[in-house]
Amino acid sequence: MKFKKRVSKITLFLILLVVTISCNTTSVNTNNTDSGSHPKLILTKQGVNNIRKHLGNVPIFDKSLAETKAEIDAEIELGIQVPIPKDLSGGYTHERHKKNFVVLQKAGVLYQILNDEKYANYVKDMLFAYAKLYPTLPVHPQTRSYARGKLFWQCLNDSNWLVYSAQAYDCIYDWLSKEERDILENDLFIPFAKFISEGNPQFFNRVHNHSTWGNVAVGMIALVMDNDELLENALNGLKTDNLTTGMRDNDGGFIKVEGLRLGFFGNLDEPFSPDGYYNEGPYYQRYAMYPFLIFAEALHNVKPELKIFEYKDGVLLKGVDALLNLSDKNGNFFPLNDGQKGMSYYTAALVSAVDIAYHYGGNNPELLSIAKKQDRVVLDDTGLAIALGIKEGLEKPFEKKSINLSDGKNGDEGGVGILRNKDLELVYKYASHGSSHGHYDKLSFSLYENGNEVIQDYGLARFVNIEQKGGGNYLKENKTWAKQTIAHNTLSVNGENHFQGKFAIGSKHHSELYFYDDKNPNVQIISATEVNAYPGTEMLRTFALIKDEDFQRPFTIDLFKIKSNSKNQYDLPYYYLGHIMKTNFDYTAFNQLNALGKKNGYQHLWKEASGKPSDNNTVFSWKNNNLFYTLTSTATNSDELILGRIGAHDPNYNLRKDPTLIIRRKNTQNTTFASVIESHGSYNPVTELALNAYSSISDLKIVIDTDNYTAVSITTTKGTSKILIISNKDNSKDKNHTLKINNKNYTWVGSYYYN
């Protein structure tokens, strides 16, 4: 109402004048596009011409363009909303600003491709709204973060905003007048970039996925503005930061670590192994891939002399391949460390990752099949390349095989191995801690069939962006449960965590690969050691995924050898999913339930039932997704078999009430847990036929277990016999071994023998 009153004749005249000038300016610049210097960041002048040439003739690109246009047209219809920041993630102002940067970037692209000023005007208007708001903003009112932003509660999200908005700005740069650019740069972009860098060194000057976003945000806008000072900070970090060693962030991660390279290069060097594995795990690698790759693309376009895609032997492109391999049959990432289940290569970050990797990585035709599943492309040169490749029918299936990915800057800090055979996938984690998102689970595993979890890794305790659940942030159970050793399919000794559950200790150590061998298509095998998790106790765990004609489907051998200088209680859980079918041991199901322990995650486990082995083997069968599974494990007299369930001391129902079987071996010094996990048979609820519902194993036996060798024999129900022998002390590939077991001589070369 007030506004209306003020619209006097004079004001109207002034407005019309401005519009006229602005139109003139616009028209000059538009006609002048070819002679300008932008876009140059992600879209390029040449690229845009090329795209326009193919439009209407590249189905997947055309479809993505149409979808983007529909989305942005609807947003333009709704009008611009730039609210005063107030909420945590999930809340209105957070979600709106988040949406705005995505919309900005897309509108910029539409302006370039469609050459329709509607989009340029929209970007301009929104950026000017931000330029008006930003100088008035204090730090965000929510105080939860160690590095509060201005638009968002944390600098991380502010950085997200700038990474996208820089692209939008680049798209309309030439179309704006010098005066307009000056306003945007001086009131918005430069102070914005400085706030998230100089203003927040504890956020910016670090090796961490947060910092990557910060570095890239500053770097992107620097490239657009041709600002060398900001670019230098982005690439190599702030020269001075006044940070002190020992500072921690909200998650308990160290902020300052002496001797690390910082900035974008630092964040490329440190967390990526030479194999492209990112130390926090695939969920955060997925999150980090976008800034890494989009900035790499920008650097490639603006600073080709840096040869960024060749940096560290092409680690960025290797990272895309590693990440795709770190997904199950359905494309969902394995939830190592803090990972939310359901995140997959269908996420937007992976669309750009795949497009970029294809375009700058030698047009690998297997990537086209992933892009085809994603069913959309980025609206730039890389997406066009994909679209043309698909149109020409060049795609080949992306074949996921067994793979071993080293961890650590130099690839010598353990790793993650994935054994694959037919529909089965076994994920073995023997990596470094994984920074602040790491969990305390060395030598842990998870098992998948047909993309479904059979033995699960819990993942994180968080409902990302679901406000009702702790604001969508990490829940306290992430620390008290999800990060704890007992929450994982690995050994807990005396109820304690690996590395006492202390980040300062855990982040100093890593497991070691003992051997990995995928040469025999029927025997995929990996073995690793951990000697620091429990000082005085050495652990060697070997997994073999074996296809054998006496078994319906590939089966897993799990050999966990423990050598200790003291007697301990060993807990080895299997977080199976599904319904128990049968056990060969008797157990008592309790009529009153108590937690299994008081701390280290044990307080979150209900002890539902408990029993003792009835035989030399413990046999445990369950059904999941209408397939049958059987765990057969060698038993000792001191074993207690515990059927547990997650969910005790969970006052807000933050945890999933999933089951576990824990093999507890008491008062034992050196020992080996030898187990086989079979997948067999099926149940059809329509025909009601249960096929092959029983294990094919009649006996499992450790036939030798010395310092030098461990061997396990499997007798099948067909009466046939198999043996797996591991050399415990020599992992060289060409070493000759001879071993007599039960009067039979075994001779082989290399780390293992199976027959």
Binding residue for a second copy, selected from 529, 659, 673, 700, defined by CB under 8 A: 659
Which residue bears the tokens 């980025």? Answer: 378
Q: Please count the other Cβ atoms lying within 10 Å of the Cβ belonging to residue 262.
A: 24
Q: Of 690 and 739, which has the nearer Cβ to a second copy? A: 690
Q: How far is CA 595 from CA 53, 191, 439, 460, in A?
A: 67, 53, 22, 21
Who contacts 17 (Cβ-Cβ below 8 Å, separation ≥6)?
none
User: Could you tell me the smallest distance in angstroms from the CB atom of residue 103 to a second copy?
Assistant: 14
Q: Catalytic residue among 210, 433, 437, 510, which?
A: 437
Residues 6+ apart with CB under 8 A from 18: none
Region of 660 (left: φ > 0; alpha: ψ -120 to 50; beta: rest) is beta
Among 612, 649, 701, 737, binds a second copy (CB under 8 A): 649
Site string for a second copy, 411-450 (x = CB under 8 A): ----------------------------------------
Per-residue binding letters, 682-701, with a second copy (x by CB under 8 A): -x-xxxxxx--xx-------
Return the range that interacts with a second copy (CB under 8 A); candidates 179-187, 260-268, 343-351, 494-502. Answer: 343-351
* Neighbouring-strand partners of residue 532: none
User: What is the C-alpha separation between 555 and 698, in angstroms, rounded?
Assistant: 15
Q: Which is nearer to a second copy, 520 or 626 (CB)?
A: 626
Beta bridge mates, 424: 421, 449
CB nearer to a second copy: give 503 or 576.
576
Angle between helices 155-172 and 92-114 (to 10 degrees): 20
260, 306, 531, 580: residue in contact with a second copy (rule CB under 8 A): 580
Assigned token pair, 511: 């497991």
According to CB under 8 A, which one of 244, 468, 736, 743 is a site residue for a second copy? Answer: 468
CA angle, residues 240, 241, 242, in degrees to nearest 5: 110
Q: How far is the CB of 587 from a second copy (least distance, A)?
A: 8
User: How far is residue 310 from each of residues 188, 209, 290, 298, 568, measured CA to CA in Å?
Assistant: 34, 21, 18, 14, 50
700 sits in which H/E element:
strand 697-705
Q: Which of residues 614-643 bind a second copy (CB under 8 A)?
A: 621, 623, 643
31: CB partners within 8 A, 6+ apart = none
Is residue 598 involved in binding a second copy (CB under 8 A)? no
Nearer to a second copy, 189 or 606 (CB): 606
Q: Which is nearer to a second copy, 40 or 623 (CB)?
A: 623
Length of the chain counted residue by residue: 755
262 vs 454, beta carbon nearer a second copy:
454
Instruction: Give the count of residues interacting with a second copy (CB under 8 A).
Output: 54
Among 363, 465, 692, 721, binds a second copy (CB under 8 A): 465
From 119-127, 136-144, 195-203, 644-652, give the range in contact with a second copy by CB under 8 A.
644-652
- Minimum CB distance to a second copy, residue 344 (Å): 6
Q: Is 344 in the site for a second copy (CB under 8 A)?
A: yes
Q: Could you give the CA distance from residue 120 to residue 143 in angstroms, rounded to a whole number?
A: 36
Shortest distance, position 350 Cβ to a second copy, whole Å: 9
Of 343 and 418, nearer to a second copy (C-beta) is: 343
Q: Does 256 bind a second copy (CB under 8 A)?
A: no
Token pair belonging to 373: 């599943």
Q: How far is CA 404 from CA 322, 340, 427, 511, 513, in A?
A: 9, 22, 10, 14, 10
* Shortest CB 281 distance to a second copy, Å: 16
Piece in contact with a second copy (CB under 8 A), picked from 437-445, 484-492, 529-537, 650-658: 650-658
Radius of gyration over every alpha carbon of the chain, rounded to an integer in angstroms: 29
Q: Which is nearer to a second copy, 240 or 687 (CB)?
A: 687
Among 20, 594, 708, 720, binds a second copy (CB under 8 A): 594
Question: Given the complex with a second copy, which of 18 and 691 has the nearer CB atom?
Answer: 691
Q: Decide if residue 473 touches a second copy (CB under 8 A).
A: no
Note if 284 is an active site residue.
yes
Judged by CB under 8 A, the chain residues 78 through 117 that form the site for a second copy are 90
Structure tokens at 48: 């845009």
Helix, strand, or coil here: 522? Answer: coil
Which one of residues 346, 585, 748, 754 is an interface residue with a second copy (CB under 8 A)? 346
Query: Beta strand 709-716 with 697-705: parallel, antiparallel or unpaired?
Result: antiparallel
Q: Is the dihedral of CA 213, 214, 216, 220 positive or negative?
A: positive
Site string for a second copy, 37-76 (x = CB under 8 A): ----------------------------------------
Single out the residue of 71, 249, 467, 640 in contact with a second copy (rule: CB under 8 A).
Answer: 467
Shortest distance, position 173 Cβ to a second copy, whole Å = 29
Catalytic residue, candidates 284, 290, 709, 752: 284
Of 676, 704, 447, 673, which Cα lies nearest the Cα of 570?
A: 673
Task: Work out how close the CB of 346 gets to a second copy at its nearest, in angstroms, rounded to a whole number.
Answer: 5
Closest CA to 518 of 451, 444, 419: 419
Per-residue contact flags (x/-) with a second copy for residues 499 to 538, judged by CB under 8 A: ----------------------------------------
In 10 A of CB 661, how many CB atoms? 22
Q: Which helix (H) or strand (E) holds 42?
A: none
User: What are the angstrom distances between the C-alpha of 116 and each of 119, 127, 260, 383?
Assistant: 6, 18, 47, 21
Is 428 part of the annotated catalytic residue set? no
CA separation (Å) from 609 to 95, 587, 596, 606, 641? 45, 6, 11, 9, 8
Q: How far apart are CA 605 and CA 593, in angstroms?
A: 10
Of the pair 591, 637, the CB lying nearest a second copy is at 591
Nearer to a second copy, 296 or 609 (CB): 609
Beta bridge partners of 241: none
Which range of residues in 318-326, 339-347, 379-387, 489-497 is near a second copy by CB under 8 A?
339-347
Instruction: Compare residues 349 and 526 and give the one whose CB is closer to a second copy.
Output: 349
What SS3 class is residue 608?
A: strand
Examine residue 365 and say whether the peptide bond preceding it is cis (omega within 30 degrees of 0).
Answer: no
Interface ranges with a second copy (CB under 8 A): 90, 340-344, 346-348, 463-469, 472, 579-582, 588-589, 591-595, 606, 608-609, 621, 623, 643, 645, 647-653, 656-657, 659, 683, 685-690, 693-694
Catalytic residue list: 284, 437
